Amino acid sequence: MSAHDNVFPPLRVSDPRAFGRVAVLMGGSSAEREVSLDSGRNVLEALQARGVDAHAVDGIPALVDALVHGKFDRVFNILHGNKGGGEDGVLQGLLEAFEVPYTGCGVLASALTMDKIRTKQVWMSAGLPTPKFVRLSPGDDVRTAAQSLGLPVFVKPSSEGSSVGVARVVDEAAIDEAIRVAREYGGEMLMEQMIVGDELTVGILGDIALPSIRIVPKGEWYDYNAKYIADDTQYLCPGLDGAQEDEIRRIALAAFRAAGCTGWGRVDVMRDRASGALTLLEVNTAPGMTSHSLVPKAARQMGIEFDELCWRILEQSLPEAATP
C-alpha cells in the first residue's frame, strides 16, 4: 500500500479512453514560453505512457484552430503566464465558449490570481495574512512609496509570473534599477514589504494541501534562474514540522479557496525568520511540471509519482471532479 491511500480518494477512472482526445496546451507567447514547453513535454509523455490519447498543442491560436475542427475532447492546460499564456482567464473563457472541459481554475480565479494586488485584497478581506504593500500606477512616486513601506521591499509587475521583472530594493540606490526592471513589463506595479525569512510553497491537489516545500537557494532569493536553471537550490519537503506544517497547509488551502481556485495549483508563502509568522505571497494556477518543479516533488512525498499526478489533474476535467 502506498503512503497516500488513506489521504487521496481512489482514481475516478482507470480506462484512458474516458478522457477522449486530449490537447496538452503548452508554449504560447508569454514571457514563460520556454518553461511551459518543458512542462508540457513532461506532461505529454506521462499521459501517453498511461495510454491517454494526448497531443501537444503550442499556443492558443493553434488550439482555436483545432477546436473549430472538433479535434479535442478536453484540454490539459500547462500554458504559463499571461498575454499569450494560459493563466489569466482568457483561455478559460475561450474554452467555456467552446464547451470544452479543461484542467485547473476557472475564468474568475485565473484572472484574479494573475493580478497579485487584487488577490492580496481578497485575502485581506478574508482575514488571511499577506505582506504589507503599495499599489503603484505608472507615474507614481516610487521613492515616496518605498519610504512609506520601509526598506527592504520587492517591486514587481502586478501580473507576471516566474519572478520575471522582479527587483529587490534593499537601499535607496537600488530604487532606480527596480523602476527600470519592472517598467519593462508595463502597467501597474506592486511594491511589497520584503519578509526576511524562509520561502515556502504549498501544492494543492483537489481538496488536499500537499506537504510544504522550503526553498533554500544559494543566492539571496528565489529568482527565475534558481527556479528553472540552477541545480544548487535545495528543496526541503516537508518544509516545516509539526503544528507549523499543519498551519501552513491550512492557510494555503484557505488562500486557494478564497481566491475561487479549484483543481490544482500552488500557493507561495513566506515565514518570518524572527517571529515565525506565515504570510501569503501569491497563487500559481498552472504551476511548472518540469524536473525542478515543486508540485511533483511534494506529490512524490505523499507517494504520488509524476504520471499519477498528471492523471489525477486530468481527472479533474471530468464532470463533478473539482469541488468548489
- Is-contact 52 22, C-beta < 8 A? yes
Round to whole Å and give the CA distance between 105 and 297. Answer: 21
Catalytic-role residue among 159, 284, 293, 317? 284
Cα dihedral 65, 66, 68, 74, rounded to 10, equals: -140
Angle, helices 306-315/33-49, rounded to nearest 10 degrees: 90
Catalytic site residue from 39, 77, 162, 212: 162
**Helix axes 90-98 and 60-68, enclosed angle (nearest 10):** 0
Catalytic status, residue 288: yes
The C-alpha atoms of residue 204 and residue 251 are separated, in whole angstroms, by 11
> Cα–Cα distance between 209 and 263 in angstroms, integer?
11
Residue in 74, 214, 249, 266 annotated catalytic: 266
266 belongs to the catalytic site: yes
Q: How far apart are CA 237 and CA 301, in angstroms?
A: 7
Cβ neighbour number for residue 57 with a 10 Å cutoff: 27
Choosing from 27, 32, 222, 271, the catalytic residue is: 32
Residue 51: active-site member: no
Q: Which of 164, 278, 182, 165 is nearest to 227 (CA)?
A: 164
Find out whether the peptide bond into 152 is cis, omega within 30 degrees of 0: yes
Sorted by sequence, the CB contacts under 8 Å of residue 130 that are 6+ apart come out as 120, 123, 124, 279, 280, 281
Give the C-alpha separation, 183 to 178, whole Å. 8
In this structure, which amino acid lies at residue 39? S
Extract the C-alpha cell encoding 176.
532606480
Q: Which of 228, 239, 265, 308 is catalytic?
A: 228
- Confirm whether 228 is a catalytic residue: yes
Of the residues 38, 160, 268, 308, which is catalytic? 268
Q: Is 203 a catalytic residue?
A: no
- Burial, 239: exposed, middle or buried (Cβ in 10 Å; 0-12, 13-18, 19+)? buried
The residue annotated as part of the active site, out of 198, 282, 308, 315, is: 282
SS3 call for 67: helix
* Catalytic status, residue 284: yes
Q: What residues are annotated to the active site?
A: 32, 162, 228, 266, 268, 282, 284, 288
